[in-house]
Structure 1
Amino acid sequence: MNLKRTFGTILTVIGIIGLLYTGAQIIQHAGTATTLIVVGIISIIFFSTGISLIRNTKDEA
C-alpha cells in the first residue's frame, strides 16, 4: 500500500471520529459552542484532505 494512501486513510478516520464526537456533543448539549465549532472545522479539514489523498493517489505496483 502506498504511503500517501495510508496517510489519507488515517486522516479520514481521524476526521470521521472528530465529526462523530462533534455531533454527539451537539446532541447532548455538553460542549461550548466555540470548542465544537473548532473541532468540527478541523475534522472537516482532516476528512476532506484524507479523501482527496486517497482519491488522487495512483496505484503503482
Structure 2
Amino acid sequence: MNQKRTFGSILTVLGIIGIIVGALGFLGIGGMGLSKLNSAVPFGVGLIFFFAGINLVKATGDRA
C-alpha cells in the first residue's frame, strides 16, 4: 500500500473519531463534560481530517 494512501486512511479514521467525540460532547452523552461551543472544536477538526484523508486517498493513483 502506498504511503500517501496509508496516511490518508489514518487521517480518515482520526476524522471519524473527532466527529464522534464532537457529536457526543454536543449531546452530553458519555460524561464528556463539554459545553455546546467547546464540542464544536473536535467536530470541526474531525471534519477537516476526514475530508483531507478522503481527498488524499482519492487523489493518489495506484502503481502496479
TM-score by length of 2: 0.85
Alignment of 1:1-61 (within 5 A): 1-28=1-28, 30-61=33-64
Higher helix proportion (structure 1 or 2)? 1
Amino acid at match of 1:7: F
Aligned structure 1 segments of 4 or more residues deviating by more than 3 angstroms: none
Q: Deviations over 1:19-59 (max 9, x none)?
A: 01111111126312332111111111000000000111000
Q: Which one has more relative contact order, counting CA pairs under 8 Å at least 6 apart?
A: 1
Q: Sequence identity of aligned pairs in percent?
A: 41
Aligned mates of 1:33, 1:23 — CA distance in 2 = 10
Amino acid at match of 2:51: S
Q: Any unmatched runs of 5+ in structure 1? A: none
- Alpha carbons 2:8, 2:56 under 8 Å: kept: yes
CA RMSD of aligned residues (A): 1.3
